[in-house]
Amino acid sequence: MRTNMNLLFYLKKRATYKDGPITIYLRFTVDGRRAETSTGKSCDPKRWNAQAGRVAGTKEDNRVLNAYLDKLQSKAQELHQVMTLANETVTAETVKNRFIGKGFQSRTLVTIFADHNAKMKTLIGKEFEQSTLRRYETCLMHVKDFMQLNYNISDIPVTKINFAFLIDFEYYLRSVRNCGNNSAIKYIKNLGKIVRICLSNGWLAIDPYLNYKPKQNTVHREVLTKEELIRIREKKFSMDRVSTVRDMFIFSCYTGLAYVDVCKLKRSELVKGTDDNLWIYTSRKKTNTLSRIPVLPAALSIIKTYENHPQCIMKDTLLPMMSNQKMNAYLKEIADLCDIRKLLTFHIARHTFATTITLNNGVPIESVSKMMGHTSIKTTQIYAKVLDHKIGLDMQKILEKVE
């Protein structure tokens, strides 16, 4: 139910008052009924402008006091709006009690979201990566900006998060923030985790995501063909640094390891398997799942090339990696020198392993999934795609049988 509220700052004189500063009070008036509370500040009556409800004059201390009163007024107005949106009982007394922190405090979205992010921050390096925290912090920023723009509030009770809230937030992400379809849905999913926390704690009765069915667009994942891979492997570079980046990239193409996993790869993780061949036994940093990868000759050759590299000896790592940003910059240069018209990044190596090296050579998807450390074959299916030449070979076999 909508209610009207008026606010007034005034000086409240005691019966025993003689002279000196007087305490400034804030009066709440809702539908003709009043409630008041002290602001904790005082002012000399000679400096007080009763009509404006502020201190007169432009001195620094006057400006500071007026700014403080402005802040209290904004807080009171926002509380009134939040209580109205939450269908709470709004009277002069209830608004005043919420204003001074007395009585029931409803759970609010930003408070819970910020608490989630603070806890996540303490678990960086243990359960979460810095990039994951950044995504949730960005999502919280978008949520706050959305509420300010749409509702003119900085927070909202979790009980007000409904299907309409999600639809409006998604529209905001697409229109105001100019997010693509998949980016918008990722932020909606981040918010979904906070909603699940509220549902699990009983702070929210109905799941607003119940009828919300977003659909992500299929992303075209670039991979290298066998010919392009050979071209990069056999190319001679004048700069050692460029050659090193090429070798790290090729190593990932033949192992399927992501950048962070190659960086942390220890010499002790190169072991002899039950087949007497060398294997890499490691765990993925992203999912903490085990990856067991047979070392192909191309990868073994690179390992031997750098086994006495100073950086590898000092850090006890298998390969001398540099920052991902630098490597991607060099990979763009390598692509140009090898006449490859694709945006080459280090992660393309992982896609290439899934497709060109394994699936298109008849390796079952279950084995590829295990080597890549995926928790679900569905994830492997996203990486994997059948190249044209593999389709041609398969159809040729059928043609031979038919003939």
CB 46 within 8 A of CB 80: no
Mean of pLDDT values over 211-236: 87
DSSP letters spanning 179-199: --HHHHHHHHHHHHHHHHHHH
First-to-last CA distance in the chain? 80
pLDDT in tens, 5-21: 999 999 988 878 888 88
Strand 5-11, strand 22-30: pairing: antiparallel
Closest by Cα among 257, 166, 174, 177 to 213: 166
The residue out of 70, 99, 128 marking a domain boundary is 99
Mean of pLDDT values over 309-334: 94
Give yes or no for residue 87 having a pLDDT over 80.
no
The residue out of 47, 79, 99 marking a domain boundary is 99
36/172 same-domain check: no
DSSP code at position 23: E
Residue 278's H or E segment, with its range, is: strand 278-283
In a domain, 215, yes or no: no
89/121 same-domain check: no
Give yes or no for residue 60 having a pLDDT over 70.
yes
So what's the pLDDT on residue 1?
62
177/154 same-domain check: yes
Mean of pLDDT values over 76-99: 86
So what's the pLDDT on residue 322?
94
62/115 same-domain check: no
So what's the pLDDT on residue 389?
56
In a domain, 104, yes or no: no
320/236 same-domain check: yes
Question: How far apart are the C-alpha atoms of 258 and 349, rounded to whole Å?
Answer: 8
Residue 338 sits in a domain of what CATH number? 1.10.443.10
So what's the pLDDT on residue 390?
60
Tokens 């709440």 found at = 28
So what's the pLDDT on residue 383?
67
Q: Considering its fold, how many domains does the chain have in total?
A: 3
338/190 same-domain check: no
Give yes or no for residue 222 having a pLDDT over 90.
no
Strand 33-43, strand 48-49: pairing: unpaired
So what's the pLDDT on residue 27?
95
Greater model confidence, 205 or 173: 173
Half-sphere exposure of 385 (CA within 13 A, CB side): 15
In a domain, 289, yes or no: yes
351 CB neighbour count, 10 Å cutoff:
20
Mean of pLDDT values over 66-81: 93
Print the domain residue range for 66. Answer: 5-99
235/354 same-domain check: yes
232/335 same-domain check: yes
Contacts 24+ apart (CB under 8 A), 43-51: 43/11, 44/20, 45/11, 48/11, 48/22, 50/10, 50/11
68/122 same-domain check: no
359/383 same-domain check: yes
Q: What is the mean pLDDT of the chain?
A: 89
Closest by Cα among 1, 46, 3 to 21: 46
CB 191 within 8 A of CB 117: no
Greater model confidence, 283 or 73: 73
pLDDT in tens, 283-306: 887 777 888 999 999 999 999 999
Give yes or no for residue 386 having a pLDDT over 80.
no
User: Per the structure block, which two tokens stand in for 40?
Assistant: 């904790």
Burial class (CB in 10 A: 0-12, 13-18, 19+), 355: buried
26/156 same-domain check: no
pLDDT in tens, 99-158: 887 755 568 999 999 999 999 999 987 888 888 999 999 999 999 999 999 999 999 989
The residue out of 135, 165, 200 marking a domain boundary is 200
The angle formed by the CA atoms of residues 85, 151 and 155, to the nearest 5 degrees, is 70
In a domain, 85, yes or no: yes
Mean of pLDDT values over 199-227: 85
In a domain, 212, yes or no: no
DSSP, collapsed to helix, strand or coil, labels residue 176 as: coil
In a domain, 356, yes or no: yes
So what's the pLDDT on residue 135?
95
In a domain, 243, yes or no: yes
pTM, two decimals, is 0.60
Residue 29's H or E segment, with its range, is: strand 22-30
169/55 same-domain check: no
Give yes or no for residue 69 having a pLDDT over 90.
yes
Tell me which amino acid residue 16 is. Answer: T
In a domain, 24, yes or no: yes
Mean of pLDDT values over 265-289: 88
